Amino acid sequence: MAALAQTAGSFVPSAGALFTNLRYVFGATVLAGQPCYVDANNLIQLALNDTVAHAAVTGFAELGGSAGQSSRLVISDPNLVLGSTMVIGDTIYLFSTAGTFTKTASDLGTGKVTTLLGTAKSTTVLNFTAGPITAGTLTP
């Protein structure tokens, strides 16, 4: 299995979602629901698991946009409609392609940083309450 397919238009934060207090500017084109981090220049960038800095996910993009536009990030949500099809109990990890995620730990690749994004509560809902957890260690 590779990255899970995601439909940006199906990404829906719940009423219990928490967002960043600030709006940040995109440093690249980002679609709603893609995992992102905020870089040293306070720009939203697509997260990927190649380095600890890139894998330090801040949250999921609330809205999509091009470089120079602004948005907030969803930083916690117990009932986040992710826009992907999952199986109840799936553990969702940041993947090695920018802005994507996977449910198969073996697909993370060797020498990658493990970042846990949440657990599937249903076929469409992710429990993202703890926020992303970056292990800071590389996969064997």
- The first and second tokens of residue 16, run together, are 């219990």
The confidence score (pLDDT) of residue 107 equals: 76
What is the pLDDT, as a whole number, of residue 93? Answer: 92
Per-residue pLDDT at 36 = 96
Q: Kindly state the tokens that stand for 78.
A: 């117990």
Q: Quick one: pLDDT at residue 105?
A: 76
Is this model's pTM higher than 0.85 or not? Answer: yes
Q: With contact defined as beta carbons under 8 Å apart, do 63 and 20 qualify?
A: no
Position 63 scores a pLDDT of: 96
pLDDT in tens, 62-119: 999 999 999 999 999 999 999 999 999 999 999 989 999 999 877 777 788 888 999 9
137 pLDDT more than 70: no
Query: In sequence order, what are the residues at sequence separation of 6 or more whose Cβ sits closer than 8 angstroms to the Cβ of residue 8?
Result: 31, 32, 33, 34, 64, 83
Separation of alpha carbons 47 and 43, rounded Å:
12
From residue 41, alpha-carbon distances to 18, 24, 91, 131 in Å are 23, 10, 31, 22
Given a cut of 70, whether residue 136 has pLDDT beyond it is no
Report the C-alpha gap between 72 and 108 in whole angstroms: 27
Whole-number Å distance between alpha carbons of 99 and 119: 18
Task: Identify the pLDDT of residue 45.
Answer: 97
- Phi, psi (5° rounding) for residue 129? -70, -35
Strand-strand pairing, 70-71 and 91-94: unpaired
State pLDDT tens for residues 33-69: 999 999 999 999 999 988 888 888 899 999 999 999 9
Q: Domains of the chain: which residue ranges? A: 8-134
Q: Which two tokens stand for residue 119?
A: 């657990």
By the 8 A CB rule, do 94 and 60 touch? no
